Amino acid sequence: SQQGEEDPQALSIQEGENATMNCSYKTSINNLQWYRQNSGRGLVHLILIRSNEREKHSGRLRVTLDTSKKSSSLLITASRAADTASYFCGETSGSRLTFGEGTQLTVNP
Amino acid sequence: GAVVSQHPSRVICKSGTSVKIECRSLDFQATTMFWYRQFPKQSLMLMATSNEGSKATYEQGVEKDKFLINHASLTLSTLTVTSAHPEDSSFYICSAAGQGHGWSEAFFGQGTRLTVV
């Protein structure tokens, strides 16, 4: 990818469980963003964390950022079947917005 | 969030013809627009970044003469795939960022499925 790696590549859980996805990035960032994509559609912005922040919450989402390890994680708590989608972290550096490989999350009802 | 409209959503064209894809920001002024290409079950590959009124900055390996990008106004950017070939078949997605949102939060179009036969 143009960015780094995300793991896991695929994650299958039961409704109500928590889902954790990780991504690593390569360069110095301005901020890092997480997006979701339903099959065959555009991306929807979920949450942004700035390079000087370490943790951020939004509803059932929790994002962490470790700039020393160049990694970020996205936690979705109390997952729902409607959370089934691909999740990507987007790295903003300079004037570029690039994405990792993504995690395909399947939440089984 | 802001709305970005991408058109057409699907297009089938013959090999050798050119196809234009439009990306419009409907309720904000997009100072920066990004164009991506996505293959099935893969991530988005950034093709180019364009700023209104200036030439697009292409990623390494992307042919600027094949993928023509025009960002003539703060609400419209176009991607033209020239002399399309079957290997150009892909999902193309635009995103826009701009004044009031900070370029760091980008809003995405719904994508265009291009099939070259």
- DSSP letter at A18? -
Phi, psi angles (nearest 5°) of residue A94: 60, -125
Closest among A103, A97, A98, A99 to A83, alpha carbons compared = A103
**Is there a contact between A42 and B110 if contact means CB atoms under 8 Å apart?**
yes
Nearest C-alpha in B relative to A3:
B45
Q: Which residues contact B66 (CB under 8 A, 6 or more apart)?
A: B81, B82, B83
Provide mean pLDDT across the span A91-109. Answer: 88
Are B46 and A98 within 8 A, CB to CB?
Answer: yes
Provide mean pLDDT across the span A102-108. Answer: 95
Which structure tokens are listed for B116?
């070259």
Provide mean pLDDT across the span A37-60. Answer: 92
Work out the burial of residue A78: count CB atoms within 10 Å of its CB; fewer than 13 is exposed, 13-18 middle, 19 or more buried. exposed
**Is there a contact between B43 and A40 if contact means CB atoms under 8 Å apart?**
no
* Per-residue pLDDT, B101: 47
Work out the burial of residue A91: count CB atoms within 10 Å of its CB; fewer than 13 is exposed, 13-18 middle, 19 or more buried. buried
Q: How far apart are CA B52 and CA B103, in angstroms?
A: 13
Determine the distance in angstroms separating the CA of B57 from the nearest CA of chain A, rounded to an integer. 10
Average pLDDT value for chain A: 91
- Using 70 as the pLDDT threshold, list the residues of chain B that sit under it: 1, 99-104
Provide mean pLDDT across the span A6-21. Answer: 92
Of A30, A98, A100, the CB nearest to B104: A30
